[in-house]
A and B are shown apart, each in its own frame.
Chain A
């Protein structure tokens, strides 16, 4: 079984400040990890992924995420938040060794960047 926890329903930051959106996961094998963003009335937009290699992965719009195997975490970060980053963020996982390609998502974290 695989699962994702996003412990914060909401995160509020001031524009220009760094942001972190937390994610922890559970899989039986090695994880493939993903972050998606969802704007109102829109589908999910892919931000970045960890498959293998460097623990720090960089993605779209200046976002990055750090894979920490010992803490089973994959937190999303950005050095300087923009008001336009305000949206709903989802972390997702799948088992790298599984034949099933389905993603398991967290419940989402609503990020609000205040001007």
Chain B
């Protein structure tokens, strides 16, 4: 089954404790991206990757890191999480360099930083 898998689905952590949210897709898509969703703000892009070893900032990259060592994986790293990073996070993938088609979304990760 074609899918984007995020883990964990729920995470509660403390300020400053490094964490990683994993994202994996089995559709051989070149383009992957991370979004955060906040009430009243919709979804905003954090980082994206056009292909292996090619990443770039989206609209709200501060406080986040990403890597793309393999085509299927695109982890989101919070080196020192802060309460303002409490949010719902989505990973998405699509073929053709991110254009010409719709994005496939993971199930979402609800992150709470206390």
Do A and B interact with each other, yes or no? no
Residues of A within 8 A of B (CB): none
B contact set with A: CB distance below 8 Å? none
